[in-house]
């Protein structure tokens, strides 16, 4: 670590809002700011946002953090929601609202990509199969459904990289975020000429690919003056939100795994080489530093399921009240199981038409049982992810709880009991923005390497230990949970067909 002191800023362009924080070189948070923005759902299964709202909110939170600092920042790192597609014309203007990571409209385009490239070839080159969340099918959807807009298209960017363009004037991305486009050669860590050719996507539309710990440019003088930043402030490549959060949680070495409960849920495991699931049930991506990789399983509605239940069935209780209510019900919720597939599901089903359900309801069940069943169902889904990670031969020595769910003792204990592993909680749990700030520190030379940034990530001594009897109970219930998807899928798919009529 450099002897020079200074502040590092991390900016997270999230799904519900932008968040900036500043840390010192010891990992202490000096300042933070958040600004929310709306999510548009023009049709069931569609999610969009106006990229200009990201830029407005990003400027606001960066300026707010900078005002709180005693000394000027020395670098800025970017992170944000993955997979989204920002479409720009030749002048850099937004053509239409961005299609987001959880948008499900591109099932037909995923089939087109699989037919054109071949599933084995997709796995070999990109490490993944075609799923609706990725960026490539969104580009083809624009071609198929909005040809006038497609005719104006000159640049395609991921969400954080649109903000980078406004900050620096540079079209750039990083390998971890680019991994989620279905256009990156995972081993080469650059765009795949073969896939671009087959899909007829010009390489000129895409930004340069950097490592997350590399500088990609500097803040323009005009932006620096407007936001109170130093002229020519270095901007790091950064990372997609999951990889950035992993850096912030020290998941940069073999055996380290994180389990995150936010709007979505993610089991993220470090890997020294690309590893792919033959059916594409796990995502295989570059990590945020040279030579690093990771695999991850994704539950699309994790904390989102609890938020849905809070708003739709629990009378608007806050999360602390809701988890206290859930704790009143016994483990296993007296035979009640919740399937958390409210927005379709990625891991392990790769089913955009999967739907949620309560199964086993009887007259004795109360609102406490339903709340607990929602939480247990989410953790069962995360256990599906963890089992696939272990099945790939990825070592699992320590699991760290992250995301908003890490603040809840009940969420952490449920993970310990269902996973059968001790669950650690980090001292610093500031999410992706913290990891982005650490990457900025590497880019400007304040840290020697991403591996060394883990020196400032401390783990709490408090650990949730699994209860062997409860683990056995949950294993029995989870086997039933796993059977329910297969039993219900045909009927659910027919309902989805009716919904489209």
Residue 417 falls in the annotated catalytic set = no
Model confidence pLDDT, tens digit, residues 242-301: 899 899 888 888 998 999 998 889 999 999 899 999 888 999 999 999 999 999 999 989
Kindly state the DSSP code that residue 169 receives in the 8-state scheme.
S
CB 347 within 8 Å of CB 279 = no
Question: Mean pLDDT, to the nearest integer, of 325-345?
Answer: 95
pLDDT band with cut points at 50, 70 and 90 for residue 48: very high
CB 451 within 8 Å of CB 252 = yes
Model confidence pLDDT, tens digit, residues 121-178: 999 999 999 988 899 999 999 999 999 999 999 999 999 999 999 999 999 999 999 9
**pLDDT over threshold 60, residue 4:** no
**pLDDT over threshold 80, residue 329:** yes
Model confidence pLDDT, tens digit, residues 346-367: 899 988 889 999 999 999 999 9
Question: Mean pLDDT, to the nearest integer, of 325-349?
Answer: 94
The helix/strand/coil state of 349 is coil
CB 326 within 8 Å of CB 469 = no
Average pLDDT in the chain = 93
CB 141 within 8 Å of CB 100 = no
pLDDT at res. 353: 87
* Domains of the chain (ranges, CATH numbers): 7-249+429-461 (3.30.420.40), 298-425+467-500 (3.30.420.40)
Helix/strand/coil percent split, the chain, to 5: 40, 25, 35
Model confidence pLDDT, tens digit, residues 368-389: 999 999 999 999 999 999 999 9
CB 30 within 8 Å of CB 7 = yes
Model confidence pLDDT, tens digit, residues 54-103: 999 999 999 999 999 999 999 999 999 999 999 999 999 999 999 998 88
pLDDT at res. 301: 92
pLDDT at res. 302: 94
Kindly state the DSSP code that residue 315 receives in the 8-state scheme.
T
Model confidence pLDDT, tens digit, residues 421-477: 999 987 666 789 999 999 999 999 999 888 877 777 665 567 999 999 999 999 999
pLDDT > 90 fraction of the chain, expressed in percent and rounded: 78
State the DSSP string of 107-166.
HHHHHHHHHHH-HHHHHHHHSS---TTSHHHHHHHHHHH-HHHHHH--EEE-HHHHHHHH
pLDDT at res. 460: 58
State the DSSP string of 81-111.
-SS-BEEE-TTS-B-SPEE-TT--TTHHHHH
Kindly state the DSSP code that residue 230 receives in the 8-state scheme.
P
User: Which position among 161, 174, 177, 241 bears the catalytic label?
Assistant: 241
Distance CA 200, CA 197 (A): 5
């Amino acid at each position: 670590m450099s002897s020079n002191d200074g502040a590092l800023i991390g900016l997270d362009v999230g799904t519900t809002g932008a968040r900036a924080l500043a840390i010192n070189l010891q990992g202490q948070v000096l300042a933070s700011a958040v600004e929310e923005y709306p999510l548009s759902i023009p049709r069931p299964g569609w999610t969009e946002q106006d990229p200009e709202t990201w830029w407005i909110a990003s400027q606001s939170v960066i300026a707010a953090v900078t005002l709180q600092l005693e000394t000027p920042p020395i670098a800025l790192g970017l992170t944000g929601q993955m997979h989204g597609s920002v479409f720009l014309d030749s002048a850099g203007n937004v053509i239409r609202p961005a299609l987001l990571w959880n948008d499900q409209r591109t099932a037909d385009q995923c089939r087109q990509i699989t037919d054109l490239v071949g599933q084995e070839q997709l796995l070999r080159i990109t490490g993944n199969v075609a799923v609706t969340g990725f960026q490539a099918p969104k580009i083809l959807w624009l071609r198929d459904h909005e040809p006038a807009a497609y005719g104006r298209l000159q640049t395609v960017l991921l969400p954080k990289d649109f903000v980078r363009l406004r900050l620096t004037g540079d079209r750039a991305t990083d390998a971890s975020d680019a991994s989620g486009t279905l256009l990156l050669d995972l081993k080469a860590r650059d765009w795949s000429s073969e896939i671009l050719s087959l899909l007829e996507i010009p390489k000129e539309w895409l930004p340069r690919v950097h490592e997350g710990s590399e500088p990609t440019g500097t803040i323009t003088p005009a932006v620096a003056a407007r936001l109170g930043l130093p002229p020519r402030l270095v901007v790091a490549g950064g990372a997609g939100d999951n990889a950035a959060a992993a850096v912030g949680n020290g998941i940069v070495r073999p055996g380290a795994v994180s389990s995150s409960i936010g709007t979505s849920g993610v089991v993220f495991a470090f890997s020294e080489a690309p590893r792919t699931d033959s059916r594409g049930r796990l995502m295989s991506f570059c990590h945020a530093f040279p030579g690093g990789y990771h695999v991850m399983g994704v539950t699309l509605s994790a904390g989102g399921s609890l938020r849905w239940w809070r708003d739709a069935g629990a009378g608007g209780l806050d999360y602390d009240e809701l988890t206290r209510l859930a704790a009143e019900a016994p483990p296993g919720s007296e035979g009640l199981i919740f399937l958390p597939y409210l927005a379709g599901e990625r891991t392990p089903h790769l089913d955009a038409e999967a739907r949620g359900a309560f199964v086993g309801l009887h007259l004795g069940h109360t609102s406490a049982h339903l709340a607990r069943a929602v939480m247990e169902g989410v953790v069962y889904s995360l256990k599906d992810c963890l089992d696939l990670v272990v099945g790939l031969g990825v070592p699992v020595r320590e699991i760290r709880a992250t995301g908003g769910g890490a603040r809840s003792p009940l969420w952490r204990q449920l993970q310990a009991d269902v996973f059968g592993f001790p669950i650690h909680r980090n001292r610093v749990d500031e999410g992706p923005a913290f990891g982005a700030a650490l990457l900025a520190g590497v880019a400007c030379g304040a840290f020697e390497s991403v591996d060394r940034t883990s020196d400032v990530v401390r783990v709490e001594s408090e650990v949730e230990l699994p209860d062997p009897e409860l683990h056995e109970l949950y294993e029995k219930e989870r086997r039933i949970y796993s059977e329910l998807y297969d039993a219900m899928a045909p009927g659910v798919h027919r309902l989805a067909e009716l919904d489209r009529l």
